Amino acid sequence: MKITKLNEVQISNKNKEKEQFAIDVLTGFTSSPKSLSSKYFYDDYGSQLFQAITQQEDYYLTNIELNILQNSKDALPELVQGEEIDIIELGAGDGHKTKILLQGFLDSGFRVNFYPIDISYEAMNLLNKNIQDSENLFIHGVVGEYIDGLRYVRSLSQNQQIVLFLGSNLGNFDMVSSQVFLRKVWKSMNAADYLFTGFDLKKDVSVLTKAYNDKQGYTRKFNLNLLTRMNNELGANFQLEDFQHFGVYNPRLGAMESYLLSLKEQTVYIKELERSFNFDAYEPIHLEYSFKFSHKDIAFLCEQTGYKIKHNFTDEKNYFVNSLWEVVKN
Ligand SMILES: C[S@@+](CC[C@H](N)C(=O)[O-])C[C@H]1O[C@@H](n2cnc3c(N)ncnc32)[C@H](O)[C@@H]1O
């Protein structure tokens, strides 16, 4: 464990991360269809590109959630109650949404310990620019994986907790993995702690498709950056112009799916793995699911994983929900 700056720890290890990246690429590229885990999107440049995506008009998710958070920031502290709270955020990104919630707790007189957890060093840098310690606000950044970070924070936390999982991060898991994940989070908390999660709702397919294929092409760059990351970190020789970004809604799964398609038959060598991989013309690499939810799906997930819904905050169009769940333990 390394202290990277005052009040910030890095619980991940760069060499181990690279080794795991190589193993995951090998597993993904020997699967059919080929796939890569979406957690590898977020190297330094990937985190900057994601920040640019959130500013695109087509990507409705961020603005809608920002409005919901503005409208719920005073109600949340009332629902939670208390004097001191540990706010733990999974995949905090640049923290610009969280800033609103933190202000709500501070305005209500809470003393707040904020533990943002993110796998990306650059996301933590961006967050540090957006949010600083102030009277009654104490920030302890953790660079690492969700569950490792939670385990680390649990060893420090003495107060009531609210775990934040904003945006549509949970949507990257399929239904079974979501349940496993939510149960792991449940295990790290005590009765009457809270989980506050973002859920992107099912909606008109044209709205969804536009959001994941923005006009300015940031999503395309974001996806292609995974190839650049493999070139830089694993010594691969991907030619970016030989791959095409493709984002599509799958109504059977209820999920947006992101792919890179190989534009021709080609072979790519990955030095770190000491082997080549063949791609057929138009063969896909699956990169990401972004599951969309109904209110029924949310209630089901909540009930199955040991929580009860305290309140659902939504918007006028019914595009997005931030759902506050209370931990139930017998
Ligand atoms: C889609 S962004 C969302 C950021 C922010 N929560 C928001 O709503 O704008 C996902 C964030 O989660 C982080 N992340 C992805 N997978 C992770 C993992 N397995 N463990 C920790 N952080 C992760 C990424 O680095 C990125 O900052």
Q: Which pLDDT does position 330 carry in this prediction?
A: 82
Total domain count, the chain: 2
Task: Write the residue with the smallest CA distance to atom 4 of ligand 1.
Answer: 93
153 and 117 within one domain: yes
Identify whether residues 191 and 97 lie together within a single domain. yes
Are 134 and 79 in the same domain?
yes
Q: Is 261 helix (H, G, I), strand (E, B) or coil?
A: strand
3-state helix, strand, coil in the chain (%, to 5): 40, 30, 30
Ligand 1 within 6 A of 196 CB? no
Residue to substitute in 55, 119, 122 for testing ligand 1 pocket (most ligand atoms within 8 angstroms of CB):
119
Question: Do 190 and 316 belong together in one domain?
Answer: yes
Q: What is the CATH number of the domain that holds 131?
A: 3.40.50.150
Residue 97 beta carbon below 6 angstroms from any ligand 1 atom:
yes
pLDDT grade for 190, boundaries at 50, 70 and 90: very high
Tokens 């950044």, residue located: 141
**42 in ligand 1 pocket by Cβ < 6 Å?**
yes
Distance between Cα 90 and ligand 1 center (Å): 7
- Decide: 91 in ligand 1 pocket, CB within 6 A: yes
Residues across the chain: 330
Residue 6, pLDDT above cutoff 90: no
**41 and 167 housed in the same domain:** no
pTM of the model: 0.94
Mutating to test ligand 1, I would choose from 36, 87, 120, 147 the residue with most ligand atoms within 8 A of its C-beta, which is: 120
Tokens encoding 328: 């139930």
Percent of the chain whose pLDDT exceeds 90: 89
201-254 pLDDT, tens digit per residue, is 999 999 999 999 999 999 999 999 999 999 999 999 999 999 999 999 999 999
Q: Characterise 18 by phi-psi region: left (phi > 0), alpha (psi -120 to 50), beta (else).
A: alpha
Residue 97 belongs to domain spanning: 61-200+293-327
What integer is the mean pLDDT of 254-261?
98
| Count of other CB atoms within 10 angstroms of residue 77 | 20
Atom of ligand 1 nearest to the CA of 93: 27
* Statement to judge: residues 167 and 126 lie in one domain: yes
Q: Percentage of the chain with pLDDT > 70?
A: 97
**233, amino acid identity:** E
Flag whether 23 is in a domain: no
DSSP string, 232-267: HHH-B---GGGEEEEEEEETTTTEEEEEEEESS-EE
Same domain, 174 and 67: yes
Same domain, 47 and 95: no
Q: Does residue 42 sit in the same domain as residue 157?
A: no
Task: Say whether both 167 and 304 belong to one domain.
Answer: yes
Three-class SS state of 111: strand
Q: What is the DSSP letter of 292?
A: -
